[in-house]
Amino acid sequence: MKTPVETTRGETGNGAPPVPYGRAALGGALMGLANLVPGISGGTMLLAAGIYTQFIEAVAAVSRGRLQRPALLLLLVVVGAASVAIGLFAGPIKDVVVEQRWLAYSVFVGLTLGGIPALWKLARPITNGVWVGVAAGLVLMTAVGLAQQSGATAAGLIGDGIPARLIAGAAGAASMILPGISGGYLLLILGQYLPILGAIEATIDALRSMDVAAMVSPVATVIIPVAVGLVLGVALMSNLLRYLLRAHRAITLGLLLGLLCGVVVGVWPFQEGVQPIPGSTLNGRVVTTANIAEFDTEDWPVRPFVPGAGQVAVAAALIALGAAATLAISRIGAD
Q: What is the pLDDT of residues 23-53, one digit of tens each?
A: 888 888 888 887 777 656 777 677 767 777 7
Q: Which residue has the higher pLDDT, 232 or 274?
A: 232
pLDDT band at 115 (very low <50, low <70, confident <90, very high): confident
Largest CA distance in the chain: 71
User: Does residue 198 surpass a pLDDT of 70?
Assistant: yes
89 domain residue, yes or no: yes
- 75 lies in a domain? yes
How confident is the model at residue 242, as a pLDDT?
Answer: 78
The predicted structure's pLDDT at residue 102: 83
Q: Which of 216, 161, 214, 220 is nearest to 192 (CA)?
A: 161
pTM score, whole prediction: 0.61
Q: What is the DSSP letter of 100?
A: S
Compare 320 and 65 and report the one with higher pLDDT: 320
Question: Does residue 135 carry a pLDDT above 80?
Answer: yes
- How does residue 215 score in pLDDT terms, banded at 50, 70 and 90? confident
Beta-strand pair 285-286/302-304: unpaired
Residue 130: the pLDDT is 92
pLDDT of residue 283: 58
Q: Is the residue at 165 inside a domain?
A: yes
Concatenating the DSSP letter of every residue in 76-111 gives: HHHHHHHHHHHHHHHHHHHHHHHHSHHHHHHHHHHH
Q: Which domain holds residue 27?
A: 21-270+306-329
CA proximity to 81, closest of 143, 145, 48, 35:
35
Mean pLDDT of 218-229: 88
Percent of the chain predicted with pLDDT > 70: 79
**Do the domain assignments include residue 80?**
yes
Mean pLDDT computed over every residue of the chain: 77
Cis-peptide, bond into residue 125, ω within 30° of zero:
yes
Span of 76-90, 124-138, 279-293 with lowest mean pLDDT:
279-293
pLDDT score, position 17: 46
The confidence score (pLDDT) of residue 5 equals 37
Residue 6 has pLDDT above 70, yes or no: no
Instruction: Tell me the per-residue pLDDT of 289-334, one tens digit each, with 9 for 90 and over.
Output: 877 777 767 667 777 788 899 999 999 999 999 888 877 776 765 5
% of the chain beyond a pLDDT of 90: 7
pLDDT score for 320: 92
Are the beta carbons of 80 and 255 closer than 8 angstroms? Answer: no
Number of domains in the chain: 1
Q: Which of 154-158, 238-242, 260-264 has the highest mean pLDDT?
A: 238-242
In 3D, which of 80, 97, 94 has the Cα closest to residue 32?
80
H or E element: which one contains 219? none
Tell me, what's the pLDDT at 284? Answer: 59
pLDDT of residue 2 exceeding 50, the answer is no
Query: What 8-state DSSP symbol labels residue 297?
Result: G
> Is the CA virtual torsion 68, 74, 77, 83 positive or negative?
negative
pLDDT score for 299: 65
SS3 285: strand
Cβ(260)–Cβ(111) below 8 Å = no
Is 5 a domain residue? no
Pick from 13-17, 269-273, 316-320 the range whose average pLDDT is largest: 316-320
- Residue 280 in any domain: the answer is no
Q: Alpha-carbon distance 181 to 177, whole Å?
A: 8
Give the separation between CA 134 and CA 254, rounded to whole angstroms. Answer: 4
- Point out the least confidently predicted range of 73-87, 114-128, 168-182, 205-219: 168-182
In this structure, is residue 216 part of a structural domain?
yes
In sequence order, the 6+-apart residues with CB closer than 8 A to the CB of 262 are 137, 138, 139, 140, 141, 142, 144, 145
* pLDDT > 70? residue 149: no
pLDDT at 77: 92
Whole-angstrom distance, CA of residue 13 vs CA of residue 51: 11
The answer on pLDDT for 56 being more than 70 is yes
Q: Considering the domain boundaries, does residue 4 fall inside one?
A: no
Which residues 6+ apart lie within 8 Å of 330 measured at CB? Answer: 47, 48, 114, 115, 117, 118
